[in-house]
Amino acid sequence: MIQFPEINSKIQFLKKEKEVELHLLREDLIHPTISGNKFRKLKYNLIEFTKGNYSALLTFGGAYSNHISATAAAGKEFKIPTIGIIRGEEFELKFPENPTLKFAKNCGMKLKFISREQYKNKTNPDFLDQLKSEFGEIYILPEGGTNHLAVEGCEEILNQQTKEFDYICCAVGTGGTISGIINSAKKHQKIIGFPALKDSDFLNDEIKNWTGRSNFMLVSDYHFGGYAKVNPELIDFINEFKDQFDVTLDAVYTGKMMFGLDQLIKNGFFSSNTKVLAVHTGGIQGNEGMNQKLNKRNKTLIL
Ligand SMILES: *Cc1c(COP(=O)(O)O)cnc(C)c1O
């Protein structure tokens, strides 16, 4: 049985601008390798795993996935065999130069590379049965790690110290994390999500699968062209943020959220004397892979 300590992340004051106080919940500091919201999402799934008779925990992700990285790290730490189904056959040959996959492999994760076409079957029951016949009694965690146990884990992101805030902001991928935050928010709190994907229309319905509450809104103007797409303005923002607050953001999720949130404050979206809490969901491992790509294109790197 895995015993997890109770974690209360520290809250860092960032700045007061336009009479709005901005603070940061440092979920990125929860664990050195099982970072941020991925720890929250894994927690009850790992407990569930140990209750059953499973031979391995299998999950899905792209070649730079924070979820793959965190699952592999958790497998190593809690001695659970892990299997990663990776999107893109081309990474089978290239993977020694991919920092995320190299890390996952070193943690003991077994990697299986499939084509982008095949990967689309990731929730198809026949495909999952096929994986079960290949790998045995596996515990299957969906892409991004979102299921009802993951949402339950994310309900623990907010705590006693976060009660005083009027707004809670977070980056959104599959919607699991924001759903947990929505569920555990106080009645007076509003949640703002910043989708990292361009086509995020599905998210409102997806979030409704996990919560009956409507105390949230999505601001979809800050995806920077799509998932994992970046431009020099975003990278400059991330580097200035590091300089000013000594906090590293990632370019896929938290950098875009903080950029968008900064714009909302500057545009007068919040009334004066509002207290805003942004959640740093981690994901810093992705910066190494992002910098490899930026470097190939001779662009400014993330510091
Ligand atoms: C995965 C991830 C998210 C998105 O979480 P969802 O539960 O999929 O919405 C946000 N921030 C970071 C750093 C992540 O790694």
pLDDT tens readout for residues 110-140: 999 999 999 999 999 999 999 999 999 999 9
CB 107 within 8 A of CB 72: yes
Residue 7 has what pLDDT?
85
* Token couple for 294: 């930026």
Q: Apex CA 250: angle with CA 173 and CA 206, to 5°?
A: 5
> pLDDT confidence of 94, banded at 50, 70, 90?
confident
Q: For atom 15 of ligand 1, which residue has the closest CA?
A: 283
SS3 content of the chain, % helix, strand, coil (to 5): 45, 20, 40
> pLDDT confidence of 1, banded at 50, 70, 90?
confident
Question: Tell me, what amino acid is at 196?
Answer: A
The H or E element spanning position 81 is none
Mutate to test the pocket of ligand 1, among 68, 170, 177 (most ligand atoms within 8 A of CB): 177
Whether pLDDT at 216 is above 80: yes
pLDDT tens readout for residues 151-192: 999 999 999 999 999 999 999 999 999 999 999 999 999 999
228 lines ligand 1 (CB under 6 A): no
Q: Which atom of ligand 1 is nearest to the CA of 154?
A: 7
71 lines ligand 1 (CB under 6 A): no
Q: For atom 13 of ligand 1, which residue has the closest CA?
A: 283
Q: What is the CA radius of gyration of the chain?
A: 19
Q: For atom 5 of ligand 1, which residue has the closest CA?
A: 173
- pTM, two decimal places: 0.97
- Domain range summary for the chain, segments of one domain joined by +: 11-33+156-296, 38-145
Whether pLDDT at 268 is above 90: yes
CB 103 within 8 A of CB 125: no
CB 16 within 8 A of CB 272: no
11-33+156-296 matches 38-145 in fold: yes
Q: State the distance from the centre of ligand 1 to the C-alpha of 113, rounded, in angstroms.
A: 22
Question: How far is residue 39 from each of residues 2, 95, 209, measured CA to CA in Å?
Answer: 13, 24, 21
CB 169 within 8 A of CB 178: no
Per-residue pLDDT, averaged over 282-290, amounts to: 97
The Cα–Cα gap between 261 and 249 comes to: 13
Residue 49 has what pLDDT?
97
pLDDT tens readout for residues 29-73: 999 999 899 999 999 999 999 999 999 999 999 999 999 999 999
For the domain covering 38-145, report its CATH number: 3.40.50.1100
Question: Tell me, what amino acid is at 170?
Answer: C
> pLDDT confidence of 8, banded at 50, 70, 90?
confident
Residue 219 has what pLDDT?
98
Q: Which residue has the tokens 């805003």?
A: 276
Q: For atom 2 of ligand 1, which residue has the closest CA?
A: 173
Q: Which residue has the tokens 């662009």?
A: 299
Across the chain, mean pLDDT equals 96
Residue 187 has what pLDDT?
97
* Token couple for 201: 């229309």
In the chain, pLDDT over 70 holds for what percent of residues?
100
Neighbours of 299 (CB within 10 A): 15
Q: CATH fold of 11-33+156-296, please?
A: Rossmann fold (3.40.50)
Question: Tell me, what amino acid is at 224?
Answer: F
CB 115 within 8 A of CB 121: no
| Phi and psi angles of residue 194, each rounded to the nearest 5 degrees, phi first | -115, 100
Whether pLDDT at 5 is above 80: no
**Higher local confidence (pLDDT), 18 or 96:** 18
Mutate to test the pocket of ligand 1, among 281, 285, 290, 302 (most ligand atoms within 8 A of CB): 281
175 lines ligand 1 (CB under 6 A): yes
36 lines ligand 1 (CB under 6 A): yes
69 lines ligand 1 (CB under 6 A): no
Whether pLDDT at 228 is above 80: yes
